[in-house]
Copies of this chain bind each other. A is one copy, B any other.
Amino acid sequence: MTPTLAERLLAGDARAVARAISLIEDEDPAAADLVRAIFSHTGRAYLIGVTGPPGAGKSTLVDKLITYLKKPQRPHSSQSLEAEHNSAIAASSAVPALSSIGVIAVDPTSPFTGGAVLGDRLRMQAHASDEGVFIRSMATRGHLGGLARATGDAALVLDAAGKEIVIIETVGVGQDEVDIIRTADVSIVTLVPGTGDEIQALKAGIMEIADIFVVNKADRDGAERLVSAVEANLALHAYPAGEWRPPIVKTVATTGQGIPELVAAIGQFRTHSEGTQAARRKTRSEYRLRELVSQRFMDHLERQVLAAGELGAIVDRIAARGIDPYSAANDLLSRALRLPDAAITRSLDS
């Protein structure tokens, strides 16, 4: 009997992984069935989120992180810095080596900016011969959390396929990207000196989500000033004894400088956060459930409740100021829920 896609996925088949992520990206109905089938086999991968403003060198950083983590492990030389760090990241000492890494590069890029995916392709080639490394770009899909859901599902696929580490890299610093990264097991915020607007760079809502700060391109003018600015921000926050204080790791991703220190910091955070990881994963599950329920409700509304073109007609009325959006929303809810309009209004506007 031909194995199902889920079975091939669980066996770690790279082509099955690619196929599964394509289904997710295309919002194919089969994607939901697939996630259902593999879900009980997930929860083992360690999710590393990497974000920061455009131009911070995140792709190169992730690239060098993979290279470092993929280095041959030397389990017998216990003095080896790499082996030590890697085993700190690895889920347990039972895992022989970090031979298996998945990367999802969330790239809100359209065909118009055709050159954007090139970097990922180049990276993919560099690691193509590495057994166990899977790198995939995902573009923005739709609205209202669609990207977050797709990213989450893709991470589940890599997890089910046996990836020990799943790195999610986002190029944006917006709310969706923050939501994706903040629910990873560890969140790395990458900053870069040289814009002369360090304070501005820190405005982007990314300060509070960082478990680890990376100041990349640390060989540039202004690196120390940026480190000081981050330190000053951290100083505004009281860290009681025992609470994790985000370290600042200086890197030059192009040369690999600082990568061992970053891996060490990730390992330290993993050890430190063992007790709080469950709570974070619960937040991730809740975010995912909420997004899924509201998206499926909208699908139901459009396919089962409204006639073709009816939503467009309502939108036209709103645009023409014939009805306000709140009243229109209540009308739609009332119809979908088969409850009197008054009941909806009473329930929601009080």
Contact = CB atoms under 8 A, between A and B. Distances in A.
Contact of A54 (B107, B200, B315): B200
Interface string A46-61: 0000000111110000
Given A290-B298, A294-B144, A39 B321 contact: yes
Contact of A336 (B114, B329, B337): B337
A43 B114 CA distance: 36
A290 B349 contact: no
A130 interface: no
A304 B291 CA distance: 19
A69 interface: no
Interface in A262-316: 278, 281-282, 285-301, 303-304, 311-312, 314-316
Given A53-B55, A197-B55, A201-B55, A329 B292 contact: yes
Interface string A198-213: 0111111101100000
Contacts of A197: 54-55, 57
Interface residues of A, number: 101
A36 B301 contact: no
Copies in the assembly, this chain: 2
A287 B300 CA distance: 17
Interface centre among A144, A174, A197, A203 (most CB of B within 10 A): A174
A23 interface: no
B196 A194 contact: yes
A184 to B, nearest CB: 15
A140 B179 CA distance: 12
Given A55-B200, A196-B194, A333-B300, A325 B285 contact: yes
A255 interface: no
13 contacts: A29-B348, A32-B326, A33-B349, A108-B204, A109-B203, A110-B208, A112-B208, A140-B175, A143-B175, A143-B291, A144-B290, A144-B294, A171-B203
Interface of A: 29, 32-33, 35-36, 39-40, 42-43, 53-57, 107-110, 112-116, 140, 143-145, 147, 171-179, 192, 194-197, 199-205, 207-208, 233, 236-237, 278, 281-282, 285-301, 303-304, 311-312, 314-316, 318-319, 321, 324-330, 332-333, 336-338, 344, 347-350
